[in-house]
A and B are shown apart, each in its own frame.
Chain A
Amino acid sequence: MQGTICQTAGAALFSAESFVGLVFLVTLGMLVTGAFIATTSRRLVRAVSGLALCFTGVAGVYYFLLSPFVAMMQMLIYVGAVSILIAFAIMMSTPEEGEAPGIKNAPLIGPLGFALGGLVFAALSILALKTPWQIFPRQGRGDMKHMGTVLLTSHSMVFELISLVLLIAIIGALVLARRGRN
Chain B
Amino acid sequence: MTDRDAIRTRLNGVFQEIFDDESIQISDAMTADDIEEWDSLSHITLVLTVEREFGIKLKAAEVGSLADVGAMIDLIGSRTGK
Is chain B a partner of chain A in the same complex?
no
